[in-house]
Structure 1
Amino acid sequence: MTKAKQTGEIRETPLADALGERYLSYALSTIMSRSLPDVRDGLKPVHRRLLFAMRQLGLVSNQGHKKSARVVGDVIGKYHPHGDTAIYDALVRLAQDFAQRYPLIDGQGNFGSMDGDPPAAMRYTEARLTPVAELLLEGIDEDAVDFRDTYDGESQEPVVLPAAFPNLLANGSQGIAVGMATSIPPHNVAELCDALGLIIQEEMLAATPRQVATAELVRFVKGPDFPTGGVLVEAPDAILNAYETGRGSFRLRARWEVEKLGHGLYQIVISEIPYQVQKSRLVEKIAELMQAKKLAMLGDIRDESTTDVRLVLEPKTRNVDPAVLMESLFRQTELENRISLNMNLLDREGVPRVMTLREALRDYLAHREEVLRRRTTHRLDHIARRLEILSGYLIAYLNLDEVIRIIREEDEPKQELMSRFALTDLQAESILNMRLRSLRKLEEIEIQKEHDALTKEQADLTDLMAKEARRWKVISYQVADLKKRFGEDTALGKRRTDVDGPPSETVIPLEAMVEREPVTVICSAKGWIRTVRGHLTEDADTKYKEGDEGRYIIPGETTDKLLVFSSDGKFFTIGVDKLPRGRGFGEPLRLMIDLAQDQEIVAMFIHKPGRRLLLAASDGRGFLAKEEDVLAQTRGGRQVVNPGEGASAAICIPAEGDTVAVVGTNRRMIVFNLDEVPEMQRGRGVILQKYAGGKLADVKIFNLADGLSWILNGGRVRTETDLLTWRMKRAGAGRQAPRGFPLNNRFT
């Protein structure tokens, strides 16, 4: 590779190196200058530039508003060379009280709504800073933070704000960078102040400092506090682990209550919905579920919201349990959602990393201590300059006549004053610039008072700079004052999100999720499955694909569960309401369950709680199983029968009776008591019948008193009551089947 020595020279560079270098530059720019907030002020560059530009425009909280377009124009022209839409979107979000726990911009006009309505154009809205934003900017003119050149080099912008307000955790932040992201929910400032105070007392001011544990901080910071309220239903251990690791999630539910209407009727009113959920979309989703008959217990929903949220839910009947109805809504809608916590931040050194709650608070305090030192140093420099000037004034008053003579008669009065009275350049210049009216005796007294006061302040600030403990006490007072301004007894500071433990497990009947309706499950020989409304008979005219035929026609209801047993011994469970409906041919069953291509369906039936099944493989082994034990939770199914080598699952029948009859392909039959078959949850089972040169053909369970019956050709039924010839203990070889037994060795 050749090195370029002058502008315009062409270099030969491998494409991979060139792409890698440029992509790395892009990634770093995205991480550092766009997506991740700074742990010190909790802001991204666009937000920081917005607030700084508004301060430069004089848009403080006690002054009038100005057009948002003016603000956006200043930000684009001086600090942030990006599109106006992106900047205005950032401004709008900082002004939305349903998006920001403590809004940084006081907006006037249409700034959007919880329904997802867009804000008005920037030429129609106006903005100014809030007192919270002014706290973030407090001391910025006192050398509290570093400044850097703007993109065009014509002016300067702050690298970070002084941040007398813990904005990172108070308002939270979200962003997606290259290879990393951040997600921090908002918190209550009063609780953060308590946590900050604990860290100061135990880690900075204690006689024997120690590191505060996260569990101690969580006693104060109970969890996120969202601007839209709601109820946090998360286990304390999960909350603690999230703050200890910097990663986790919080389960948030809507706030609701029951309103009695008389005559046993009631309605449910939702007054707060989860954070960042669009109310209009939520109502649409619930209406769609009602139309799809997925909310069988809900009769109607109305949005009666004005400035406050009010969603009214009407149950279908007065007998519906409100808790069960709400639990079904929590499971199917955004009335419950999860808010993630990923504290991926730029630390004080500008390095992106995941921080714990304590680390984030500790870095914020370190920033506040640095701001205090820099502001104190700036004030000391200002005092020293002023004291130097005042000392010069006092010298002038003591020698007033001579000073007047020098000014009137000398060609170079400044140099003469400096040499005559040992004045500095600043003192001489200040004396020359002094107004004649300041030569009164009263002014001399005032100057002496100011000199004494500044000298005292200088001594105090010098002591403050020399003693770290004093600085932390000052910061502790600032934190306490902040808590007083945003405490629980203030409208803005009062906690809005209640923190409860995980809700008790509410058993929701399937009828609450799906409307009960009679249907018939139809499955063809090639595995195409569907449902049709109503109960069909076996001889109903049912159409199948060309070359296919019917296999299963099963009456049921939409609230039922369909069990499918395959030849590899697995059970699959499908909700009947999840099956395709209509007049078509349905869908392949293998798309709904993970049935291996080399396996076949052995049985298909509707689940009946409390029933037992006899399961058997082709090698003559089997056992009894409860239906509850074979239900599968995933599409991968549940392995219940473990067929032996060369064998496959062959039988699945209800265990309804007291006697078992087993017949093999060698036409030998055995009859024994059902209680000889053990009940198991899974396994290979016990030997039902031994085979020398065959395998299991069929099994039937019946009541011995009624006799054993089978179907002959033509549909006639034959019943054998004298079974003594075939009665023997389980695991025998059996005897030749009765005369007239079907040639296919099947009972049905």
Structure 2
Amino acid sequence: MGKRLIPPEPAEIHEVQLREALEERYLAYALSTIMHRALPDARDGLKPVHRRILYGMRLLRLDPGTPFKKSAKIVGDVMGSFHPHGDQSIYDALVRLAQDFSSRYPLVDGQGNFGNIDGDNPAAYRYTEARMTDVARLLLDGIDEDGVAFRPNYDGQAKEPVVLPGGFPNLLANGAQGIAVGMATAIPPHNAAELCDAALHLIDKPDAKTKALLRFVKGPDFPTGGIVIDSKESIAEAYTTGRGAFRTRAKWMQEEGARGTWVVVVTEIPWLVQKSRLIEKIAELLNEKKLPLVGDIRDESAEDVRVVIEPKSRAVDPALMMESLFRLTELESRIPLNLNVLVKGRIPKVLGLAECLREWLDHLRDVLLRRSNYRKAQIEHRLEVLGGYLIAYLNIDKVIKIIRTEDEPKPVLMKAFNLTDVQAEAILNMRLRSLRKLEEFEIRTEDKNLRAELKGINAILKSETEQWAKVGEQVRKVREMFGPKTPLGKRRTQFADAPEHDLAAIEEAFVEREPVTVVISDKGWVRTLKGHVADLSGLNFKQDDKLDRAFFAETTSKLLLLATNGRFYSLEVAKLPGGRGHGEPIRMFIDMEQDAAIVAMFVHKGGRKFLIASHDGQGFVVGEDDCVGTTRKGKQIINVEMPNEARALTVVGDGSDNVAVIGDNRKMLIFPLDQVPEMARGRGVRLQKYKDGGLSDIVTFVAKEGLSWRDSAGREFSATMKELAEWRGNRADAGRMPPKGFPKSNKFGRGIE
């Protein structure tokens, strides 16, 4: 028989509210991400992974000038001792610290393939080697002298620094990017020499505000160069609030060729833009015919960036061609600024430029005080030991005799010569060979030098002025190392104002200018035909649909559409579908209500005046430029409420001084144009009075030339003002039946040209 299984005792169950459990766990996750992964520390500008990489390299003695070591060794040590989060994430961070196109002042000196500006991946860590740069050495300087606090590592087997001594303004000089939980950071790189100048000004005037520091810090300084085209006001605003963005453009120049030809050569591209992807995007736009001014593009880069852009023809304006490229490609990039950092390593906060530098300077002072106290303790210990050595030297034979004869020489020595425990221990631990060097003169010289150093340290510890002078000295040394005349310290990014261009010319630069015919069906389907097609009899339409209207335009044209809801909509011909098929519903391009229909549609020319009227007979004159809307929702011009609707639109021609209006009741009225006001929007004034029905059509004309109209067969009719005497009256009259031969449609038949 088998054993009888005894069920285990049920574990104690605690009831917890799901909301509370989720809040607690999510908060723990959020804090972990903010503190230990995504946000940099304001003091050394590093995230934990970067700090651990540098400290790991320090332990491997990978100082500048020492032989390189395999990246695999560095990654393995860092992962095993400090950062148990996966080798690839550590290696990716290491690579970014070594890339001179990602980091303005690289912290790692890499040997081997560390990737390139095209976006190619680095070699695996078993193939690459690394060591620290001078910048990294500055950040770590003083770590062995108790410059910063240490904490246990993740398994408690070793210690790691909470923050690095940070003798370099790394937070702003190298920048940082990171997305935490509910917050993000985006700090572009800056010029270290400028930051040092601003920091020195802040030491002299601790209450200085960000605006005063912008004399020194002009703006970001990207490793890949480029040109920042923001105004000084917007740059100042960004640094004051800690939030903003920088419009950065590629640097280009015109190169002349043979027989008047030329090309544009791009030598610097915006930061964090992959060159290969940028060129692919431009090539795609060329294939899609969205860059009509550009003929070809090719990459001639070697060590330096050299992207050659050929124009379509030598007559093209190079600045306009580049403007079209800046608008559509990453040759112009918007680089964000969000100075969200961990203050004192604990509190996430958005700082301004002055606060960022203040945090760094305060940290330098803290490190100075810690190092001074550490050195003071060392000197005091050494002075105590030297005092013991001097006694031993003066009584060497007696000391040797006590050591040889006593079982416990230490207490005997302490009693015999009045020594401290430290002094007795030092004498007993002395090697025999040191007896040869034990000379009174040397002991006294060392003692004297140490006492002088101790005096200097005490002076620093007692005086805040001395402390800031020492910090200033440290900052000046950094400025000297990375001054504007050094290859690494020279400013790479320039500043300029965005060139002013005619917006219409820029819009045209995006589309090839070709003649087209715009066709609209009765059911509101739109398409464009290549060229100006006069005969549309062969066009096919969907079942139960037919031609409504057609007119000539160009691919660069903008169309205006008036709907019965009183709104004007703008459409770009270039975005309308081509002639194959039946086109697409016009509602695909604008947000027009289902119960609204098209009243008029025409090419926007600009500068004209329209007379616009509603079905209930009200209207006014409006400028064409006031009718242009920028959104899909259109722009309300004539205010109408159902069942009333916008009914007619006519161009106020040059010299027009009279208005002719006809109603559904087949009554026509002519009155002076100056009786109709000009407005930007509104309901308008009454044009004609009706007992039933409403307004059918409206037209303006010049009195000297008379009124003309077309019948349904397209035949022209006209009448002089003398012949029209009985229809002349004032605005809001009822009018009378039109002249003989007037179309039964009650329309003047005058379209908008």
* Among 470, 474, 481, the residue aligned to 2:477: 481
**452-461 or 175-184, larger mean C-alpha shift:** 452-461
**Structure 2 residue 598 is the aligned partner of structure 1 residue 601:** yes
Report the CA distance between 1:695 and its aligned residue.
1.2
Q: Would the aligned equivalents of 1:516 and 1:557 in 2 still touch at CA under 8 Å?
A: yes
Q: Would the aligned equivalents of 2:42 and 2:345 in 1 still touch at CA under 8 Å?
A: no
**Structure 2 residue 520 is the aligned partner of structure 1 residue 517:** no
Q: Would the aligned equivalents of 1:324 and 1:507 in 2 still touch at CA under 8 Å?
A: no
Q: Would the aligned equivalents of 2:68 and 2:131 in 1 still touch at CA under 8 Å?
A: yes
Report the CA distance between 1:718 and its aligned residue.
4.3
Give the match's secondary structure for 2:433: helix
Q: Partners in 2 of 1:716 and 1:681 — Cα distance?
A: 35
Residue 208 of structure 1 corresponds to which residue in structure 2?
Answer: none
CA offset digits 1:152-183 (Å, max 9, x no partner): 11111111100000100000000001100000
* Among 310, 327, 331, the residue aligned to 1:331: 327
* Among 473, 492, 503, the residue aligned to 2:488: 492
- Listed as ranges, the matches of 1:609-648 within 5 Å are 609-643=606-640, 646-648=643-645
Letter in 2 for 1:97: D
Residue 574 of structure 1 corresponds to which residue in structure 2?
Answer: 571
Residue 661 of structure 1 corresponds to which residue in structure 2?
Answer: 660
**Structure 2 residue 55 is the aligned partner of structure 1 residue 52:** yes
* Among 142, 146, 150, the residue aligned to 1:147: 150
Q: Partners in 1 of 2:86 and 2:431 — Cα distance?
A: 51
Q: Partners in 1 of 2:27 and 2:362 — Cα distance?
A: 30
**Structure 2 residue 22 is the aligned partner of structure 1 residue 19:** yes
**212-221 or 598-607, larger mean C-alpha shift:** 598-607
Q: Would the aligned equivalents of 1:258 and 1:267 in 2 still touch at CA under 8 Å?
A: yes
**Structure 2 residue 89 is the aligned partner of structure 1 residue 92:** no
- Listed as ranges, the matches of 1:114-263 within 5 Å are 114-203=117-206, 211-263=207-259
Report the CA distance between 1:225 and its aligned residue.
0.3
Report the CA distance between 1:635 and its aligned residue.
1.6
Say what the alpha-carbon RMSD is for the aligned residues: 2.0
**Structure 2 residue 344 is the aligned partner of structure 1 residue 348:** yes
Residue 725 of structure 1 corresponds to which residue in structure 2?
Answer: 726
Q: Would the aligned equivalents of 1:42 and 1:169 in 2 still touch at CA under 8 Å?
A: yes
CA offset digits 1:15-65 (Å, max 9, x no partner): 221111111111110111000000001111111111111111111111011
Report the CA distance between 1:743 and its aligned residue.
3.3
Q: Would the aligned equivalents of 2:172 and 2:190 in 1 still touch at CA under 8 Å?
A: yes
Report the CA distance between 1:656 and its aligned residue.
3.0
Q: Would the aligned equivalents of 1:328 and 1:508 in 2 still touch at CA under 8 Å?
A: no
CA offset digits 1:575-615 (Å, max 9, x no partner): 10011225133332223212123322211111123333221
CA offset digits 1:680-702 (Å, max 9, x no partner): 33232333222233310111334
Residue 443 of structure 2 corresponds to which residue in structure 1?
Answer: 447
Residue 3 of structure 1 corresponds to which residue in structure 2?
Answer: none
Q: Would the aligned equivalents of 1:236 and 1:501 in 2 still touch at CA under 8 Å?
A: no
Q: Partners in 2 of 1:111 and 1:8 — Cα distance?
A: 54
Q: Which runs of 5+ in 1 are unaligned?
A: 1-5, 204-210
Give the match's secondary structure for 1:663: strand
Residue 301 of structure 1 corresponds to which residue in structure 2?
Answer: 297
Report the CA distance between 1:724 and its aligned residue.
1.7
Residue 207 of structure 1 corresponds to which residue in structure 2?
Answer: none
Letter in 2 for 1:63: T
Letter in 1 for 2:522: A
- Listed as ranges, the matches of 1:350-369 within 5 Å are 350-369=346-365
Distance 1:713 1:218, change over 3 A: closer
Number of equivalenced pairs: 736
Residue 554 of structure 1 corresponds to which residue in structure 2?
Answer: 551
- Listed as ranges, the matches of 1:267-278 within 5 Å are 267-278=263-274
Report the CA distance between 1:455 and its aligned residue.
1.2
Q: Partners in 1 of 2:406 and 2:452 — Cα distance?
A: 37
Q: Partners in 2 of 1:51 and 1:585 — Cα distance?
A: 65
Q: Partners in 1 of 2:152 and 2:225 — Cα distance?
A: 41
* Among 317, 320, 336, the residue aligned to 2:313: 317
Letter in 1 for 2:178: G
Letter in 2 for 1:179: G
Distance 1:202 1:717, change over 3 A: closer
**318-327 or 138-147, larger mean C-alpha shift:** 318-327
Letter in 2 for 1:110: N
Report the CA distance between 1:543 and its aligned residue.
2.5
Report the CA distance between 1:328 and its aligned residue.
1.7
Q: Partners in 2 of 1:520 and 1:364 — Cα distance?
A: 66
Q: Partners in 1 of 2:300 and 2:708 — Cα distance?
A: 66
**387-396 or 513-522, larger mean C-alpha shift:** 513-522
Q: Partners in 1 of 2:345 and 2:178 — Cα distance?
A: 19
Q: Partners in 2 of 1:715 and 1:507 — Cα distance?
A: 39
Letter in 2 for 1:425: D
Residue 737 of structure 1 corresponds to which residue in structure 2?
Answer: 738
Give the match's secondary structure for 2:541: coil
Q: Which runs of 5+ in 2 are unaligned?
A: 1-8
* Among 362, 369, 375, the residue aligned to 1:373: 369
Distance 1:680 1:634, change over 3 A: same
Distance 1:107 1:441, change over 3 A: closer
Letter in 2 for 1:69: A
**Structure 2 residue 275 is the aligned partner of structure 1 residue 279:** yes
Distance 1:401 1:578, change over 3 A: same
Q: Would the aligned equivalents of 2:320 and 2:501 in 1 still touch at CA under 8 Å?
A: no
- Listed as ranges, the matches of 1:68-87 within 5 Å are 68-87=71-90
* Among 556, 560, 564, the residue aligned to 2:561: 564
Residue 40 of structure 2 corresponds to which residue in structure 1?
Answer: 37
Residue 670 of structure 1 corresponds to which residue in structure 2?
Answer: 669
Q: Would the aligned equivalents of 1:560 and 1:606 in 2 still touch at CA under 8 Å?
A: yes
Q: Partners in 2 of 1:579 and 1:321 — Cα distance?
A: 27
Report the CA distance between 1:281 and its aligned residue.
1.2
Moved over 6 A (4+): none
Report the CA distance between 1:294 and its aligned residue.
1.7
**Structure 2 residue 429 is the aligned partner of structure 1 residue 428:** no
**Structure 2 residue 588 is the aligned partner of structure 1 residue 591:** yes
Q: Would the aligned equivalents of 1:563 and 1:571 in 2 still touch at CA under 8 Å?
A: yes
**Structure 2 residue 696 is the aligned partner of structure 1 residue 700:** no
Q: Partners in 1 of 2:431 and 2:443 — Cα distance?
A: 14
**TM-score where L is the length of structure 1:** 0.95
Report the CA distance between 1:306 and its aligned residue.
0.8
Q: Partners in 2 of 1:387 and 1:30 — Cα distance?
A: 48
